[in-house]
């Protein structure tokens, strides 16, 4: 019998408890042992829940109980998740989490502590919800020379952008709809400002490069600046707008970023709609693979968490353990990142735009002057925009092309 404790009885914690209980025969057959949910830690009581008798409010009961083998941390946030995880690993208990914030900030420390204690630290559910992506990257893809990992890592923003494209909604209307459907929080900042996707690309970058880049060193833009006019311009030239997390491994260093990108409508990531997520990994000799599925929600996230539990029970530490550190990070200067860019400005003319950018592709001239630049570095694009602003131009939009 293996005893587990669940920290946090919200949407994901409830989903984990339900999955272990409803599918107990399958879960036990796979894990090879009976599983007992011994404790559920939460600040609240749940008198009407079938798990009411397991709810405790004092973490020391759990961490000091020698019968508890595995702790599932699904509280979210950095604190006290950080302190609880450190205490659990030091007490010789394996830890599983879906909490991308704590992994992105402290994952290196947790892996080192787990190694020292001879226990496991797993976080498959932290990226892509129910999509098995982290384990396949480290066990099936890592032997490639990986050149890029990129993905649609946030379901809420993908839902909003999909609505802006398919129904012509404004950003505000699409956000209200996402809130009404329970995808976006009442305070949607972490999703719409790109913070959530930034944490996820930090984790993916760590897996493929071995470097855990601090999130404040990852260039992060959300979707609040994407306008309906940009959606129409993109559509007119066969492009779609998606919020992408990208990590490119180049000779000069690692470029890690989150930003809206315009991509061809027939690109695999362009077909990922609604709250779905997808992660594409490119490298040699594999070329490119894509992982696709539901990126959030109680059931899919619980599936990934319980998958980690099965792996711990079945294999102990005999599985591919991710290795990454915060040392010697090697982040390239974002000013050197090269791409084509969609730009929309007012108060400019074709001649002055071409004098700043060189040969452009004009896509709209009514009201705003919208064009696509040649491939340039970020620093060159910044300088060209500044030049036009200095001549009375006003920037309305800037979205990079994939």
Considering the complex, state which of residue 126 and residue 249 has its C-beta at the smaller distance from ligand HSE: 126
Beta strands (DSSP E) in 94-138 are 94-97, 121-122
Residue 232 Cα to chain centre, angstroms: 27
Distance, in Å, from the CA atom of 152 to the CA atom of 280, rounded to the nearest integer, reads 9
Roughly how many angstroms between the first and final C-alpha of the chain, as a whole number? 50
CB of 29 to ligand HSE, least distance (A): 29
- Work out whether 296 is an interface residue with ligand HSE (CB under 6 A): yes
24-30 CB contacts, 8 Å cutoff, 24+ apart:
27/306, 27/309, 27/310, 30/310, 30/313, 30/314
- Among the listed residues 130, 155, 260, 300, the single contact to ligand HSE using CB under 6 A: 155
Task: Figure out which of the listed residues 85, 97, 154, 373 binds ligand HSE, where binding follows CB under 6 A.
Answer: 154
> Which member of 200, 211, 240, 242 is catalytic?
200
Cα three-residue angle 31-35-41, rounded to 5 degrees: 125
Question: Interface with ligand HSE includes 294 (CB under 6 A)?
Answer: no
- The binding track of 250-289 with respect to ligand HSE, each residue x by CB under 6 A or -, is ----------------------------------------
Measured from the CB atom, the residue of 5 and 125 that comes closer to ligand HSE is 125
Decide if residue 222 touches ligand HSE (CB under 6 A).
no
- State the nearest-atom distance from the C-beta of 336 to ligand HSE, in Å: 30
Q: Name the nearest CA neighbour of 356 among 391, 384, 381.
A: 384
Q: Which is nearer to ligand HSE, 121 or 183 (CB)?
A: 183
Active site residue 200: yes
The residues in 95-134 that bind ligand HSE, with binding defined as CB under 6 A, are: 129
Note whether 165 and 236 are within 8 A (CB).
no
Cβ–Cβ under 8 Å, residues 389 and 381 = no
Q: Considering beta carbons, is residue 155 or 293 the nearer one to ligand HSE?
A: 155
> Cβ of residue 346: shortest distance to ligand HSE, in angstroms?
33
Angle between helices 81-90 and 100-117 (to 10 degrees): 10
Residues contributing to the site for ligand HSE (CB under 6 A): 129, 154-156, 183, 191, 196, 295-296
Q: Which residues are catalytic?
A: 200
């Amino acid at each position: 019998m293996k005893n587990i404790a669940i920290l946090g009885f919200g949407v994901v914690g409830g989903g984990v408890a339900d999955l272990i209980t409803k599918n107990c025969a399958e879960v036990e057959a796979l894990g090879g042992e009976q599983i007992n949910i011994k404790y559920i830690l939460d600040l609240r009581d749940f008198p009407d829940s079938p798990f009411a008798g397991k709810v405790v409010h004092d973490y020391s009961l759990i961490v000091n109980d020698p019968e508890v083998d595995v702790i599932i941390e699904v509280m979210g946030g950095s604190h006290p998740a950080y302190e609880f995880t450190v205490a659990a690993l030091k007490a010789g208990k394996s830890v599983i989490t879906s909490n991308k914030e704590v992994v992105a900030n402290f994952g290196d420390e947790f892996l080192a502590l787990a190694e020292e204690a001879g226990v496991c630290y797993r976080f498959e559910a932290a990226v892509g919800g129910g999509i098995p992506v982290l384990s396949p990257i480290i066990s099936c893809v890592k032997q490639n020379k990986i050149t890029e990992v990129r993905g649609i890592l946030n379901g809420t923003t993908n839902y909003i952008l999909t609505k802006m494209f398919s129904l012509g909604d404004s950003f505000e209307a699409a956000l209200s709809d996402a809130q009404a459907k329970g995808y976006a929080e009442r305070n949607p900042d972490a999703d719409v400002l790109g913070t959530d996707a930034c944490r996820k690309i930090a984790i993916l970058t760590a897996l493929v490069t071995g470097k855990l880049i601090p999130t404040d060193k990852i260039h992060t833009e959300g979707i609040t600046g994407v306008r309906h006019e940009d959606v129409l311009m993109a559509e007119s030239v066969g492009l779609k707008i998606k919020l992408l997390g990208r990590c490119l491994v180049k000779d000069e260093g690692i470029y890690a970023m989150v930003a809206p990108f315009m991509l061809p409508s027939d690109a695999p990531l362009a077909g990922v709609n609604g709250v779905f997520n997808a992660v594409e990994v490119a490298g040699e000799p594999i070329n490119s693979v894509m992982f696709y599925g539901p990126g959030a929600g109680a059931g899919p996230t619980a599936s990934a968490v319980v998958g980690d539990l099965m792996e711990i029970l079945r294999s102990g530490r005999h599985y591919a353990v991710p290795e990454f550190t915060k040392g010697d990070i090697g982040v390239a200067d974002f000013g050197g990142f090269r791409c084509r860019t969609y730009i929309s400005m007012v108060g400019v003319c074709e001649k002055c735009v071409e004098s700043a950018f060189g040969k452009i592709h004009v896509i709209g001239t009514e009201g705003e002057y919208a064009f696509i630049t040649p491939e340039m570095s970020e620093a060159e694009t910044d300088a060209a925009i500044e030049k036009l602003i200095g001549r009375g131009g006003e920037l309305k939009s800037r979205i990079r092309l994939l």
